[in-house]
Amino acid sequence: MEVTLAHLKRGEHGIITDVSSIHVPLKLLEMGCLPGNSVELVQVAPFADPMYLNINGTHLAIRKETAIHIKIEITNE
């Protein structure tokens, strides 16, 4: 099974491996959501949606429906 951002649990870390250019808007890429960058799930709202992330130092929140299109590798340093 492919692991995506949506699989991260609160406090877990990962590395972004692939970002679908069709489903993920350019704006998110420009904010640093790019392959190779580290990601941490800082906080989740009720029902785990939206997700409050720290991507490479940038803190932002996205919905789960976007998160499933961002593939990651869980590292849990």
Partner 1 sequence: MSKQINVALIGNPNTGKTSVFNALTGLNQKVGNYPGITVEKKEGICKLPRGVKAHIIDLPGTYSLNASSLDENVVIELLLNKNDKDFPDIAVVVSDVENLKRNLLLFTQIKDLEIPTILVINMSDRMRYKGISLDIAYLEAKLNTKIALISTRKNKGISELKELISNYKDISSTPCMNASEIDPGYFDNLRKAFPNQLLYKLWLVITQDVNFGKTDRNEMEAISSFKTKTKSDLKRLQQKETIKRYQFINEVLKGGQTIDLKNAKDLRIQFDRILTHKVWGYVIFGIILLTIFQAIYDWSSVPMDFIDSAFASLSEWVKQIMPQGAFTNLLAEGIIPGLGGIVIFIPQIAFLFLFISVLEESGYMSRVVFLMDRIMRRFGLSGKSVVPLISGTACAIPAIMATRNIESWKERLITILVTPFTTCSARLPVYLIIISLVIPEGRFIGLSYQALTLMLLYLIGFGAAIVSAYILNKILKIKSKTFFVVEMPNYKLPMFKNVALTVLEKTKSFVFGAGKIILAISIVLWFLASYGPGEEFNNAESIVKTQYASQHLSEDEIHQKIASHKLEHSFIGITGRAIEPTIRPLGYDWKIGIAIVSSFAAREVFVGTLATIYSVGNNDEDTIKNRMASEINPILGGPLFNFASGISLLLFYAFAMQCMSTLAIVKRETNSWKWPTLQLIIMSAFAYIVALIAFQFLK
Residue 48 identity: A
Residue 26 host element (H or E): helix 26-30
* 67 near partner 1, judged by CB under 8 A: no
Main-chain phi, psi angles of 47, to 5 degrees: 65, 25
Q: Which residue from 6, 9, 38, 61 is in contact with partner 1, where contact means CB under 8 A?
A: 61
Site residues for partner 1, 23-52, by CB under 8 A, read 25-32, 34-35, 42-43, 45-47, 49-50, 52
Whether residue 11 contacts residue 71, with contact meaning beta carbons closer than 8 Å, is answered with no
Residues within the interface to partner 1 (CB under 8 A): 19, 21-22, 25-32, 34-35, 42-43, 45-47, 49-50, 52, 56-63, 65-66
